[in-house]
Chains A and B, each alone.
Chain A
Amino acid sequence: MHSLGRILGALVASAVVSVAHADTIKVGVIGPMSGPYALFGQNFKWGIDAWVAENGDTVGDHKVEFIFRDEESPDPAKSKALAQELIVKDRVQYLAGTYFTPNAMAAAPLLAQGKVPLVVMNAATSSIVEKSPYIVRTSFTMWQNTVPAAKVAKDMGSDKVAIAVSDYGPGHDARDAFKATFEEMGGEVVEEVNMPLSTTDFGPIMQRIKDSGADTIFTFLPSGPPTLAFVKAYIDNGLKADGIKLLSTGDVVTEPDLPAIGEAGLGILSTYHYAVSHDSPENAAFLEAMKTVGAKPGEVTMTAVAAYDGARLIYEMIEATDGKQDPDTAIEAVKGMSWASPRGPVSIDPQTRHIKQNVYLREVAKEGDTFINKETQTFEAQPDWGLAE
Chain B
Amino acid sequence: MDSKFLEINMGPQHPSTHGVLNLKLSLDNEVVVKVEPNLGYLHRGMEKLWENRTYAQVVPFTDRLDYFCAISNNLGYVLAVEKLMGLEIPKRAQYIRVILTEIQRIVNHIGWLGFVTNDAGAYYTINFYTFEEREEYLEIFEEYVGARLTINAIRIGGVPFDIDDKLISMIEKALVETEKKIKDIDKIVTRNRIWLHRTKGVGVFSAEDAVQFGLTGPALRASGVKWDIRKDIPYSSYDEFDFDVPTGTAGDIYDRYLVRVEEIKQSMRIIRQAIKNLPSGEIAAKVPKVLKIPEGEIFHSIEAPKGELGFYIKSNGTDKPERVKMKSPSFINMQSLESMCKGNMLADVVVILGSLDVLLGEIDK
User: Do A and B interact with each other, yes or no?
Assistant: no
